[in-house]
A and B are shown apart, each in its own frame.
Chain A
Amino acid sequence: MILQVNHLTVSFGGVRALDLEKFHLEDKELRVIIGPNGAGKSTFMDILCGRTRPGSGEVLFKGHSLKGRTEVEIAEMGIGRKFQKPSVFPSLTVFENMALATKMKKDVFSSLFFRTSPAFTEKIQAMGKRVGLSSVMDRPAGALSHGQKQWLEIAIVVLQDPALLLIDEPAAGLSDRETEKTGELILELCQQHAVIVIEHDMHFVRQIANGLVSVLVNGKLLMEGSFAEVRNDQRVIDCYLGRANAQLEKL
């Protein structure tokens, strides 16, 4: 078991944003988290990567508590985060973006005296090919399309070689074709990493959900099950209908 969450709560100004009794993730498991807006999905990821401090409860990653650790320490332990809004380094080239992210010694002196080796360049180029960016490696990342930025950020996170990948809405703002490609990429990633994906797009969820889907509502875990179980659950449908989101029913 790579991730274990017990009695986790977070409150923002008296409002309980997250109240998670139990959450488990196996190694190399792909878990999709769905839920209406404000259900606490992103907050959950924020806690896992050290952006938000929990009010109470514990998070164990590979058996070690994340309590009191900074985002750098958590990243070093092996949790990588892709944010909802693609966040890359716009003035650096795609290649440089990936090179910076790649797992290596990241202190000041190592960076000062870092030299690229052919093996290193090859590794980056291979990743570029994998995410379909090999033709734009020398362009500044700021000049990429939205979809390409999403993929670049996924590449950045994967190159850190984390044991656990947190991917927040990878399909937001993508075309159907791009969404499908992103889905294929994520399915490929879960061969080597544990992955948690937050997503709204139900077509996309159907494509990637090869295991359990967790449904968060009002900060609480409503249910966990396969995609078919979740889709047919009356409570889940009610929650989505209550938010005027008929996507589940249409499927």
Chain B
Amino acid sequence: MRVNTRAITNLSFLLVFAIALPVGNLLGLVSINTVSVWGRYFCFAIAALGIDLIWGYTGVMSMCQAFFFCLGGYAMGMHLLLKATALQGHLLPDFMTWNSFTALPSFWQPFRHFVPALLLSLLIPALVAGIIGFFVFRSRIKGVYMAIITQALALAMYLLFLRNETKLGGTNGLTDFRTLLGFDLSASSTKLGLYWVSLGALCLLYLLCHKLVHSKFGKVLQAIRDSEFRVGYTAYRVLNYKLAIFVIAAVLCALAGMLYTPQTGIITPGRMDVTASVEMLMWVALGGRGKLRGAIIGALLVNCLYSVCTSLFPQGWLFILGFLYVLTVLYFDKGFLGLFETLGKKIRLS
């Protein structure tokens, strides 16, 4: 029975997003902007998967996931900007000309080509997460201290990216992209293509994460969440496990950021401020922590709500989000997913 409902929800998810929405667009019923907006939500859902792995399954509250998201986003943004600059026949991106740069900074060079940019957008976050994670986990920093230290890191990085000296566009970030692999980013077909890629990536990564959490590795992660010292006395090196999942989570977030940038057309430090990371945690908490589907549902629903609410009550969004969060903590601690499951059970019983 359970397996059936699972299959039905999976199938209806695919039916709506893989078929109904694109077909609706082709028939002129759904605007390409709506399609593109959902494409971006899928990116957030991928980041939420990463957060669920590190927080929901391992119990490590990392508050710098938006930073990893932006590392991926910026790497892709640098590539897109260099392509746009070349297309315009300029030597340097506009913001560099305004800041009277004379030559392209050396660390921008590898981003001229797509493949190195793609690899770097995943490698850099992995490396950063590896280094931070190594020192944090080796010092056995846990719980609230982990949250505080990663939040401080997120803030520090945000302030760093705000500065013009960082040579990444400062407050304005990177924008004015034109093409990706030769496709015009403003064309409907490209937007639809990116939507497909995001959806495909989400499905594929969901399956991979599913495999991961059901492997023995995943069980060790849950054991760490339950009773970390017991895992140590059972002869597992907790540091290595935490480090591995921290890096995996960072790469997932970076991948999400990488897919996100060409779809929004801009990446700024605003995407990585402290509240951005907190909001990402909220998606997972509201959707249902410790369940991969919960993370996806949370990211999609909260972002959907965000766009509805910000157009209806522009000032009220944070109040609504906060209220939802309080409700979740008080009454349905398993999130939307837990709520759906309870409702489903009640309907079946009656």
Contact = CB atoms under 8 A, between A and B. Distances in A.
A87 B230 contact: yes
A49 B233 CA distance: 8
A46 B236 CA distance: 18
B217 interface: yes
A202 interface: no
A188 interface: no
Contacts, number: 75
Contacts of A113: 215
A121 B215 CA distance: 15
B216 interface: yes
A160 B232 CA distance: 12
Interface in A196-216: none
Given A72-B232, A81-B233, A107-B240, A112 B217 contact: yes
Interface string B192-235: 00000000000000000000100111011011011101111111
Task: Say which size band chain B's interface belongs to.
Answer: 20 to 34
A6 to B, nearest CB: 24
A99 B216 contact: yes
B346 interface: no
Task: Say which size band chain A's interface belongs to.
Answer: 20 to 34
Nearest to B245: A108
B229 A87 contact: yes
Contact of B230 (A88, A99, A107): A88
Interface string B30-72: 0000000000000000000000000000000000000000000
B217 A111 contact: yes
B241 interface: yes
Contacts of B229: 71, 87
A160 B235 CA distance: 8
A114 interface: yes
A81 B222 CA distance: 20
A107 B236 CA distance: 7
A56 interface: no
Given A72-B237, A108-B244, A92 B219 contact: yes
Q: Which of B222, B231, B234, B236 has the most CB of A within 10 A?
A: B234
Contacts of A106: 234-237
A91 B226 CA distance: 7
Contacts of A100: 216, 219-220, 223, 231, 234, 236
B212 to A, nearest CB: 8
Given A96-B219, A112-B217, A160-B234, 16 more contacts: A72-B236, A76-B235, A83-B230, A87-B227, A90-B227, A91-B222, A91-B225, A91-B226, A100-B234, A101-B234, A106-B235, A108-B241, A111-B217, A112-B212, A112-B215, A156-B234
* Top 5 A-B residue pairs of the complex, sorted by shortest distance between their CB atoms: A75-B235, A114-B216, A111-B217, A89-B226, A89-B223
